Structure 1
Amino acid sequence: MKNHFLIIFPSLLLVVFLLIACKEEYVYTGKLNPDNPKDTTTTTGGTGTTVITKPCSPDSVYFEQSVLPLLRSQCASPGCHDAASRKEGVILDSYANILKTGNIRVNSPANSKIYTVLSKSDPEERMPPAPNSALSNTDKALILKWIQQGAKNLTCDAACDTTQIAFKTNIQPILDAQCKGCHSGTSPSGKIALTTYAEIKKYVDSGSLLGSILHAKGYIAMPQGGKMAACEIAKVRNWIRKGALNN
């Protein structure tokens, strides 16, 4: 009996190991290189929604959620204010660099250079410069309000529901905020335009949109200053999983 158990027990261990190893893995729509790292981005709780422990206040401007994506997309592009180009010594890809080089004046917010250059009449001196479009009045007001509130590195737990995702209401706003600054207009960065569904779908089908968003090996990282928030990545990933519909 003892010998019989010793023969069966290793087989039972092998079965348990295979059951654990065969758990569901992420499936990508597109042609991601199998050598790329897996997407480990998840939402808290594992149910498609976040568990909010630090709710956002509508009266506060949160740097990570609102200011950083805007400056990365519109200003911290190659040849301008990214870490490599550092045009005029200004780097706008992180909180530390923005605070150090953006000439922010908390005591006189409207005179902060990072704000005044947004409304210059000369398109070549304006930020972002031509042929890029100027920031909207809403975006400029957001930057000013952030400085007026002390230019703080505030964060909060924004609600994140990844179960119901639509292109027009969820995906396009994310890509507009995070990518459109570099990938739009008459001369988009890398000749890659991401302004319409057809343009975006082209890079979804090739796998390069997801690869770039995940900062995966073999793809150009987007945005270049750092990854999108985990919630935004999860929304794009789930939209692609469900067929990347124009809904």
Structure 2
Amino acid sequence: MNSLRFLGYLVLIGLFLSALAGCRHEPFMMAEDDDFMPIDTTVVDTTTVDTMGTDTVGVPCDSTKIYFERQILPILRSSCAFSGCHDATSAQDGVILDNYDDVIRTGDVRPFDLSGTDLYEVLVDEDEDDRMPPAPRSRLPASQINRIATWILEGAENLSCDVTNQGCQTTDVSFSAVVKPIIETNCQGCHSGGSPSGGIDLASYSGIKTRADNGQLLGSIDWQDGFSRMPQGSPQLDQCKIDQIAAWIADGALEN
């Protein structure tokens, strides 16, 4: 009887130890050959708007939005970010206006707040000694000031879009709707006012027409040999803009 009881105890102890072993959890360890892939932060998500200022593949341009690289930066480069003023080398008063980050930082741009944004305030300042661009340069056209204001009020973002699939209208190109806005945005900052750069005044149709007829306008923006590359110190205009101006010139450079 005692032997049977002892044997029963041994069986119970064995069952208890087996159960205890079954409840143990091995610590979690990542094996060296596990298929673990870290997030690749260098891959650009092309399904969303790229805020780095480069073209975003597959994202069509929205006519209701302001794109900094295409619509704001060319104005600043033409009118402000040149040698002796607000390029990276001169940085007058500590202000640099040749790239998005520096425009936001040194131009004291406050999204959604015009009155608190120095970049806007100097454009509309009534004091000729304080306004920018400084005399004898002309004030920015109202259309450009309004564009900058709209950009700030919309959040001063660095949106970009893909223009490769947008098509380029090169037939019946209008001076007033196409050519003039291109030149206003990219050229008139230097080539207007009391002392236009190089003595070339592009603030009027007649001035633009003269340079179109003698080949200087297309030669400069197309970066052809023998011509000064324009816009000076800035990237070349995108091919669509060059093609549109070329088409307008080929059609007689009309004031249409």
TM-score over 0.5 for the alignment? yes
The CA distance in 2 between the partners of 1:59 and 1:135, in whole Å, is 22
**Which residue number corresponds to residue 17 of structure 2?**
none
Amino acid at match of 2:249: I
| 1:112 paired to 2:117 | yes
Amino acid at match of 2:109: I
Pick aligned residue for 2:168 from 160, 171, 182: 160
Give 1:198 shift.
Answer: 2.9
Give 1:142 shift.
Answer: 2.5
Unaligned runs of at least 5 residues, structure 1:
1-51
Kept in 1: contact 2:205–2:255 (CA 8 A)? yes
Kept in 1: contact 2:112–2:156 (CA 8 A)? no
Give 1:138 shift.
Answer: 4.2
List per-residue Cα deviations over 1:122-160 (Å, max 9, x = no partner). Answer: 212211112233234543333233223332221234663
1:180-219, aligned counterparts within 5 Å? 180-219=188-227
Unaligned runs of at least 5 residues, structure 2:
1-56
Pick aligned residue for 2:241 from 202, 225, 232: 232
1:1-247, aligned counterparts within 5 Å? 53-106=58-111, 108-156=113-161, 157=163, 160-224=168-232, 225-247=234-256
Give 1:212 shift.
Answer: 1.8
State which drifts further: 169-178 or 98-107: 98-107
State which drifts further: 55-64 or 110-119: 55-64
Inter-CA distance 64–148: structure 2 relative to 1 (3 Å threshold)? same
Secondary structure of 1:210's partner? helix
The CA distance in 2 between the partners of 1:120 and 1:183, in whole Å, is 22
Secondary structure of 1:124's partner? coil
The CA distance in 2 between the partners of 1:109 and 1:66, in whole Å, is 18
Structure with the larger RCO, 1 or 2 (CA within 8 Å, 6+ apart) = 1
Secondary structure of 2:74's partner? helix
Amino acid at match of 1:196: S
Give 1:183 shift.
Answer: 0.9
The CA distance in 2 between the partners of 1:65 and 1:159, in whole Å, is 16
**Which residue number corresponds to residue 17 of structure 1?**
none
Inter-CA distance 193–211: structure 2 relative to 1 (3 Å threshold)? same
Please give the root-mean-square deviation of Cα atoms over the aligned residues, in Å. 2.7
Amino acid at match of 1:244: A
Give 1:235 shift.
Answer: 0.5
The CA distance in 2 between the partners of 1:107 and 1:205, in whole Å, is 44
The CA distance in 2 between the partners of 1:216 and 1:94, in whole Å, is 26
Larger radius of gyration: 2
Amino acid at match of 2:247: N
Inter-CA distance 246–108: structure 2 relative to 1 (3 Å threshold)? closer
Inter-CA distance 79–135: structure 2 relative to 1 (3 Å threshold)? same
What percent identity do the matched residue pairs reach?
Answer: 44
List per-residue Cα deviations over 1:71-119 (Å, max 9, x = no partner). Answer: 2232224432234433223222232442343222237453122112112
The CA distance in 2 between the partners of 1:104 and 1:238, in whole Å, is 38
Give 1:197 shift.
Answer: 3.0
Kept in 2: contact 1:63–1:155 (CA 8 A)? yes
State which drifts further: 126-135 or 236-245: 236-245
Kept in 1: contact 2:114–2:121 (CA 8 A)? no
List per-residue Cα deviations over 1:211-234 (Å, max 9, x = no partner). Answer: 221234443332222222332111
